[in-house]
Structure 1
């Protein structure tokens, strides 16, 4: 608490100083520019982003197009405090140093991801193709009351564009290096006065980025197609129904690893102090070729009825995923380490809310939530070195079930003009089970495990609007992530407990200079208990989840937009993050002393400093508008493992983009050119060292890419 008080004092001094300087600046010549308002549903009701007492960054359709956002990974370049990496087909998101590396069939993410309110438990391929969007909301900090168990670090809400009451459409085609070809299209049809339909599609294809992987085909390629259909019916002014279907297919070689032989110490252990120089062009791989084959089918049915005093909202959906892959784990010409996972996942999600209407002093909502998942998994850890067909080293065959139930409520009351008090509570009940067998070399071993947990999480806050465009807030939140269990070869089933997080945050949201300058500040402190961490066995090559005793994260954030005129816009953010495990002992001796103590180490994906900066200016040209935008992401070093070994380290780096867009006066079409990762920086997204593989192995973010995109609107 002493540390948080000091943190709060510093942030308040910064706020006061800035407010004073900004107030003086108000007397200067006022700008004709103005920053657009963005309406969000972060609190599950419509509010202006600048009136929402959450550290949130929102991007509307216009901002997404200007920034050239086409994948979820692109969000990290423009959203403060967010890191996005991939573990093969799985997206791993870190917000303010909170993440989950546990992507197996029992694991849960630490950041809630939802599309149109449908929670996505297993983000296979999610975000590879983001198209026809209304906006993206990135919420930082625990969201345990409204979003539930797996939002300990925050939430990302992807909101697709819905049917409108007017005809519109567009088509777009893009080309780029690595033989990239992308297409995108949308058509919106008002069928009747009460019925409207919107259909959209997207395809993305390019060769693999790792050009040196021959004789195998180059990995980190793209081959995806997705189509979505919305049907919206408004039979009365009070009732709105929306039916959505989406089909996505992902193929190609898939994500790949770069590998190099291990170095050993004089005692024969892996040299963890060595960091190979990873080559972004890849390294020769073995045969057979890797592949990925994923199909995702989603149906959502949403309804809203206006009861007058409140609105009854229902969000329901079903998501079916067929996922199979062949991965080369070592990333070299060795044929001894392949994994072939196959998984069939079925998700059901239901949420019902009663949300108060009107603009009175008292606002409230109550709701219930039910999520069910079943998964059939068959996974082979194989060697192609000595036999054809391959020899199966490990075999896993499981049926997994998960169920989550919750009841929640949140209310706010405006005590006096401008001062609002808020309180929320959520009760969660979680259960997961796994039956089947594993074979790790000594015959089939039956598995029949389960885990259950319950938790009540809270939210309390105060918000003060001291002017129409300025507010300060302070809030307290708790969050939790359900527990689970591991099956480690040669050991019994090892359970791990739920993790809980307690958060204090103060912040301010402001508009100055005639609405042309926006500045949002926040300071936060997290106390973690039993944080779930992934630890990889360097001999076997598999990972298990354990609980860290205690962890602490605190930091400062500043986010600004300056739009001095209608043709200029500058945006920037800076994040300072201090994240460490205060108690982390993996092995305890019989006398109670700690044998392997990682206390004091930094959390994974938690750079001490990170910056985003962007500038754009619009020029009149040939009767139209030419808008160049340059943006850069800078961050200091971070680690991809709780041990903080040298081979797990990503050094400080910067990645910059240039996006140039030309739009004629008619706005019937636009042409956009882009260069991403101008520095051609090699950035790792995972790090593994294993004596079974015999290598240090790394996943990598995309290298420098460039291309152009032509869009026609009708």
Structure 2
């Protein structure tokens, strides 16, 4: 697909440099080789380096402003470092934070697959482009690309001296700095160094002394690159990158309280963002560290054959502190004072990965081809602890309720270090103020006086062999191109569940039923898939081409570490047909690209939660009774029967009516129809005496695909002109609107049944419809005396008109017993930057 307001800025930059009016060629690598976007028969959106600058994009999460039409980017609300990606209604499951779980959108950095969604909020700097490949990419890119892929490329060493320094300040205490250095080539070796720092304060202040605010973010990163080019036919690119992030949780809002609760005197029920939380909480940032090595080698063996090797090792460590905050706590009427609230989740995630890919790329007469093979291995491990940090005092509602503060070390009554000086004071507490102390020695928790909720490890190995060829038959003046591809993949996962609910898990028997024997649950499973692709393209005229494509993809299966049985699930699969037209007209001053698609979405897996209960048989009555129950849920993942359906239309245009002016826009329509959710887990029916009276399945319900607006519109205006002494004035304005998306999968149960005995559900809420606008004004290429340096100054704003939109929302305004909760979009941010380039 075309640029959709993103890469048009890139096109304008090139066109102006040539002194012409029009749109220049855009080069992409969607077919693992450089091709002209307009001649590439696949739907692609490109966010160029200029667009990244104009939109003040510092991480993938900033792409939620519509920079890449059709791509949804959402930070996982409780863990903003875990980035959720969705393309065409495909790519998300409820929990992508697990060691054996996978995302459905592949992310590649200079050809290296990034195996985890954790850490994708790391800083982006000095990029060449971000290509968004839409639809299944299972042939050339492999596993976990059923929705599409993000292909991120960095700028390479130039071999010529160059240096740029940038500094900036903004509201919310934000600051930023970048440094870029290219050294002259020496003995065929070129060197490039890039570094960045970016930070802002929280959007919502935390009134608890000594604690961090909500929605803080801080990023820093460094990348060093060496290019060795001893001949014109061989190039070796080595890169090392490291990054550090600090994020606090996105603040959670209750915008409508349920009618079966008593609202505390401290509560507020806002209808827009607030600046200060009414109740403070124990909060600290999640710390993320990643680093990686990569070596890309290219050898032109023959005039018609090129060999490539992509080797990489990456390591990720993530501390996870998740506490969403609150605008107030509805106190359940039958509990009143004494209720616990504000759940803090403390987790740790580790991952390292190694990958090796080999490619042979060539062209023989009318045949272009690529064949390759990939080996990928990763090891992952996690653990999590959770407890409530606040507790209402016991004075009663009438006298005014105040919270008692609990931390991993003590509380505001016993003392801040009571858990350290008098461990028994915490060990005797069974109300989950702290969580029960550790009951297993298999895993040492981050905090020893809090139980370990879960811990697991997993190793994944993946092999892939693929080939793709494009043939231009000697007919119709060489205007037809036929492409076919095939990939074989094998995934093997070897995992073990060490702890669940603060104890060793119960081992299943041969039939999968739980026994009373505890131990480490081990799983080993393999899956194989073959993914074909066929494509036919036809050049109607030199400036108009049409194509039709059928492709497939899959998301790998895995194991659910929140399950007491460590349940496994099979891969999801998708088969999609796409047809499109790409056109240029008005002497290359206008582009209009249109694509339509429809696909079958099969084996979709859902996460299913249930209360964690243990039972025993009463020796007198023979009845099964509850020994203990917990409102803390466990989770299993199941592949649903039936097929889902995804379909839609994507329209992009770019127009250059006069010199220096580019107008661009896009419209996407996406329809998703998920199979009916049929809960496969029989739920125990428990009476007031704790006796199990039977088992029943929940009523099948409608489940919604997440993060997929049905209608989206984006637009951008870019204008550039020389103003004085070769200086250039640049004006940028963009906007993006959508009509809302689901952020919670299921509809809301009323708790009542119809005449046939089926539970009645009310429609789940979508996020709020609305638009967000960004703007930037800059003057660049200002000469600094005779130094040869060029100065640039800019002012920028994101969410220019300070829109207040609930971008995460769930619940029901209609159902009295349902609350409505969610989170708001980022407020207006603005600032100024100054840069000097040599």
- Tell me the TM-score normalised to structure 2 length: 0.75
Partner of residue 597 from structure 1, selected from 697, 700, 714: 700
Q: Deviations over 1:386-414 (max 9, x none)?
A: 67243335522222111111111101100
**C-alpha separation in 1, matches of 2:682 and 2:349:** 39
The structure with more strand, counted as a fraction of residues: 1
Shift of 1:70: 2.4
Kept in 2, the 8 Å contact 1:608–1:636? The answer is yes
Tell whether the 8 Å contact from 1:259 to 1:695 is kept in structure 2 after alignment.
Answer: no
In 2, Cα distance between equivalents of 1:340 and 1:442 = 17
Residue among 241, 244, 267 paired with 1:246:
241
Where does residue 672 of structure 1 map in the other structure? Answer: 794
Which deviations, in whole Å up to 9, do the C-alpha atoms of 1:293-352 show, x marking residues without a partner?
111111101111111131110101111111112221564676551111112211111111
Match of 2:619 in 1: none
Deviation digits for residues 456-491 of structure 1, max 9, x if unmatched?
0110010011222221000000111111222456x5
Instruction: Find the aligned partners of 1:213 and 1:282 in 2 and give their Cα distance.
Output: 7
Aligned residue for 1:418? 479
Deviations, residues 142-169 of structure 1 (Å, cap 9, x unaligned): 1010111100001111101001132212
State the partner residue of 1:21: none
State the secondary structure of the residue aligned to 1:650: coil
Number of the residue aligned with 1:547: 639
SS in 2 for 1:50: helix
Q: Which one of the candidate residues 690, 710, 716 is aligned to 1:608?
A: 710
Aligned to 1:378: 383
CA contact (8 A) 1:203 1:226 kept: yes
**Which residue pairs with 1:348 in the alignment?**
354
Question: How far apart in 2 are the matches of 1:429 and 1:526?
Answer: 23
Q: What CA distance in whole angstroms lies between the structure 1 residues aligned with 2:376 and 2:207?
A: 42
* 1:72 alignment partner in structure 2: 60
Distance 1:617 1:673 in 2: 15
Kept in 2: contact 1:85–1:685 (CA 8 A): no
* Contact 2:355–2:377 (CA under 8 A) maintained in structure 1: yes
- 1:382 and 1:481 mapped to 2: Cα distance? 33
Matched with 1:306 is: 300
Q: Tell me if the contact between 2:674 and 2:705 (Cα under 8 Å) persists in the aligned partners.
A: yes
For the 8 Å contact 2:347–2:384, the answer to whether it is kept is yes
Query: 1:513 and 2:576 equivalent?
Result: no
Point out the more displaced range, 507-516 or 324-333. 324-333
In the alignment, which residue of structure 2 is the partner of 1:571?
A: 664
Question: Counterparts in 2 of 1:33-112, with a 5 A limit?
Answer: 33-76=21-64, 77-87=66-76, 88=79, 89-101=81-93, 102-103=95-96, 104-112=98-106
Quote the offset at 1:593 in angstroms: 11
Which residue is equivalent to 2:555? Answer: 481
CA apart distance, 1:511 = 0.9
Matched residue of 1:557: which SS? strand
Match of 2:540 in 1: 466
Q: CA deviation at 1:537?
A: 5.5
- The aligned runs of 1:163-312 (5 Å cut-off) are 163-192=157-186, 194-211=188-205, 214-215=208-209, 216-251=211-246, 253-260=247-254, 263-264=257-258, 277=271, 279=273, 281=275, 283-308=277-302, 309-312=304-307
Is residue 295–residue 312 contact of structure 2 (8 Å, CA) maintained in 1?
yes
Deviations 1:648-696 (A, max 9, x none): 520211111111111246581221211111232344555578xxxx986
Distance 1:602 1:621, change over 3 A: same
Contact 1:204–1:223 (CA<8 Å) still a contact in 2? yes
Instruction: Give the match for residue 735 of structure 2.
Output: 632
SS in 1 for 2:212: coil
Specify which of 476, 481, 498 is matched with residue 571 of structure 2: 498
5+ residue gaps, structure 2: 2-18, 263-268, 329-339, 391-405, 411-418, 420-433, 436-449, 507-519, 612-630, 684-693, 749-762, 784-788, 812-817
- Structure 1 length normalisation: TM-score? 0.88
- CA–CA separation in structure 2 for the residues paired with 1:541 and 1:267: 22
Q: Distance between the aligned counterparts of 1:618 and 1:143, measured in 2?
A: 36
Alpha-carbon distance in structure 2 between the residues aligned to 1:493 and 1:629: 51
* 1:103-130 deviation per Cα after TM superposition (whole angstroms, max 9, x unaligned): 1222111111111011111132324411
Render the CA deviation track for 1:89-113: whole Å, top value 9, x for unaligned: 2010111111213312221111111
The 2-side partners of 1:287 and 1:266 are apart by 25
